[in-house]
Amino acid sequence: MTPEELTLLTQQLVGLAKENADQNIKSAVHAAEFDAALEQMASKVIEQILNLKEEDRMVVCMATMTKLLVENWILQTAKKA
């Protein structure tokens, strides 16, 4: 993947993540800090996924999403208690 393609992919991930971010999360930190965190994390995610064998990528992504959803659910449940 070229540097330009990596930049475009990072921008796509950041854009999607921002669109779907919870307003409470977005407002918990300064906007520039939130954007920097999104960019840094997106870059790391891309790096980690691209270092996997292609046939393993989808399963690793789904497992990671499942883990994060459960962690988020637990945090939300604990916050309400």
Range of the domain at 21: 1-50
Same domain membership, residue 38 and residue 8 = yes
CA distance 7 to 14: 11
Q: Residue-wise pLDDT tens for the chain (81 aa)?
A: 899 999 999 999 999 999 989 898 899 999 999 999 999 999 999 999 999 999 999 999 999 999 999 998 999 899 887
Same domain membership, residue 30 and residue 4 = yes
Provide φ and ψ at 51, rounded to 5°.
-80, -5
Q: What is the pTM of this model?
A: 0.81
pLDDT at 24: 86
- Indicate the number of domains in the chain: 2
pLDDT at 81: 78
Same domain membership, residue 37 and residue 20 = yes
Q: Which two tokens stand for residue 45?
A: 């995610």
